[in-house]
Structure 1
Amino acid sequence: MDKLQAMQVFTRVVDCNSFSGAADALHMTRSSVTTIIQNLEAYLKVRLLNRTTRRISLTPDGAAYYERCARILAAVEDSETSLSTAALPRGKLKVDMPGSISRLIVVPSLDDFHARYPDIDLMLGVSDKPVDLVQEGVDCAIRMGNLPDSTLVARRIGTSEFVTAASPDYLSRFGEPKSLPQLDAHVAVNYFSRRNGRIMEMNFIVDGEPIEVRMRSKLAANDGDAYLQCGLQGLGLIQVPHFFAARHLQTGCLVEVLGQWRRAPLPVWAVYPHNRHLSPQVRAFVEWVSERFEGCHLLRKNASEAMDHVRHDSVRPLVTDLVHS
């Protein structure tokens, strides 16, 4: 029995909470994974996993063995990495990110990534909502906003500023608001969360404090592209990440309003599971994508400075799913 492979298979079954998921992640058949776990338990003379038709769970012996396996596998990978620091990272890398970030920031620069790391086979997942990294076998993901999942290791790679905007047609009919009280005479296109259905009201930072403004509205959307199109069609004021609307702002199809009271910027993170060693492929991708975000004019270079002047305990985790479109 290959003990190292058995440890790798066992830890992946636990991480995925599934024999099938582990088989997919390791590019093995389910029967091979099952056989390896059975042989491992026979060799150790203990049951590592409780199995039912619907779920699996660790036994006390399995939990203790899992922790030891995780440390051993991390040490092995550290040793291999230390002996090959001069070599370029190689192998498969599965990443996940929101559609707008993929479409507008990452994909246009992938030729640079492949030129720098020609031996990495990138599997780019584009999802409308955050995926379970462990269950889906994702090595790394890009997420925006406050992170609800404390089990993930997160590295901040950028900051995204928001703009409040309207089409020239809308402004010709309603006029341009010059102050927040003037919003009473305007209408908004609302955005509602696809996760909980909650309407996300307009929000502005005034003297370092977030101010929520409830506006008149007869239209709401839960898709970022549809929300943007509503603004372009003159159906109301919208509030979107700057990179999402940058092209339309440059061409004049959208006009920014109330620029002195922008919504609080949101951090952008690269995240990966805490119990998964940071592989050379993940490290390379995180470093590369950090560079792309740092140099990306679409995010506005003053966003990080603006965020430093906002009371972080008062910033609510709004509109984070607007970019997942």
Structure 2
Amino acid sequence: MDRLDAMRLFTRIAELGSFTAAADDLNLPRATVTHTIKRLESRLGAQLLQRTTRRVRTTRDGEAYYSHCVRLLAEMDAVEADFREAAVQPRGRLRIDVPAHVARQWLIPALPAFFARYPALELDIGTGDRFVDLLREGVDCVLRVGKLPDSNLVGRRVGTLQQMTVASAGYVRKQGMPQTLAELQNGHYAVNWASPTTHRSEPLEFMVGRKRREIAMPGHVTVSGVEAYLASCEAGLGLAQFPVYRVADAMANGTLREILPATPPPSLPVTVLYPSHRQMPARLRVFVDWMVALISKQL
């Protein structure tokens, strides 16, 4: 294995925290992985990785070497990409993750046109609300709605989603239609949303002019999945807040009613995220450009 391949192997072990996971990711025998790292450490005269029973971690020397590897490999990838893309159509497989409703309503219906333009590409599409660790899970990019935690990922803003506060028609008949924010904490309930990342219940948010106001409300149920959140609201278990497009059908057929339209929730940012230290390959760049154009038309 040459030095560049050894560097790529080392970076994947550092990112995945496992010799076995890196071997599987790069389709290499475990013995080759172990032997290559031993030779690399011997050549450098430094221990790069510290093995424990559960995980492989980089040493201080390993962290420094990892930073150099990432920079050098990115530069090499950029040079090669410039030459390949001039003559070769983007090809290969991409792993992406998007919210389930976005995939069903916007992304997947448009894929036939995408594949007609890029027939050599393949997509592995994950859907869900959970946090995705792109580096450790080998995911190329994700589409996320809402506030983003601090990370080393590159974020490309697609647009924003308008939101509304809603309750079921049955809830309004039983509990009444609140007329002010102050009434929400007197005889009203919320379907509480627990962040899949922090697992903490989050308050409802309202815009009063240009100021954001948070109101924590009592509730009989707490959920961390979008489908469960919507189903609980439709069942009359309390108020909830959704992007407008997500509840448009339920609003049209009268299943849901809008609450306090004069003080709507703040808009949600929509962002495409991908790893910052990788040179973006052609297949990822064309997909991100296409998805940004597609989703931005819907917002």
Normalised by the shorter chain, which TM-score bucket? 0.7 to 0.9
Offset at residue 291 of structure 1 (A): 1.1
Name the structure 2 match of 1:279. Answer: 281
The 1:122/1:31 distance shift into structure 2, 3 A limit, reads farther
Offset at residue 42 of structure 1 (A): 4.4
- CA distance in 2 between counterparts of 1:192 and 1:64 reads 38
Q: Percent identity?
A: 40
Q: Deviations over 1:44-90 (max 9, x none)?
A: 55543333333333345544433333222212211122123343221
- CA distance in 2 between counterparts of 1:181 and 1:155 reads 37
Name the structure 1 match of 2:140. Answer: 139
- CA distance in 2 between counterparts of 1:161 and 1:285 reads 25
Offset at residue 239 of structure 1 (A): 1.4
After superposition, where does 1:1-325 map in structure 2 within 5 Å? 1-44=1-44, 46-86=46-86, 87-183=88-184, 184=186, 186-296=188-298, 301=299
- CA distance in 2 between counterparts of 1:48 and 1:199 reads 41
Contact 1:104-1:243 at 8 Å conserved across structures: no
Structure 2, unpaired ranges of 5+: none
Total equivalences in the alignment: 297
Is the deviation greater in 118-127 or in 56-65? 56-65
Contact 1:41-1:48 at 8 Å conserved across structures: yes
- CA distance in 1 between counterparts of 2:5 and 2:24 reads 15
The 1:180/1:140 distance shift into structure 2, 3 A limit, reads same
Q: Deviations over 1:130-165 (max 9, x none)?
A: 122211122212222222232222111221221111
Contact 1:95-1:141 at 8 Å conserved across structures: yes
How does the TM-score come out when normalised to structure 2?
0.86
The 1:178/1:34 distance shift into structure 2, 3 A limit, reads same
How does the TM-score come out when normalised to structure 1?
0.80
Aligned with 2:219: secondary structure? strand
Contact 1:155-1:269 at 8 Å conserved across structures: yes
Contact 1:188-1:216 at 8 Å conserved across structures: yes
Aligned with 2:237: secondary structure? coil
Contact 2:194-2:202 at 8 Å conserved across structures: yes
- CA distance in 1 between counterparts of 2:5 and 2:159 reads 37
The 1:82/1:99 distance shift into structure 2, 3 A limit, reads same
- CA distance in 2 between counterparts of 1:186 and 1:49 reads 55
In the alignment, residue 268 of structure 2 is paired with which amino acid?
Answer: L
Question: What is the root-mean-square deviation of aligned Cα atoms in Å?
Answer: 2.6
The 1:194/1:122 distance shift into structure 2, 3 A limit, reads closer
Aligned with 1:225: secondary structure? helix
Offset at residue 124 of structure 1 (A): 1.6
The 1:62/1:212 distance shift into structure 2, 3 A limit, reads closer
Contact 1:191-1:200 at 8 Å conserved across structures: yes
Aligned with 2:177: secondary structure? coil
Contact 2:129-2:196 at 8 Å conserved across structures: no
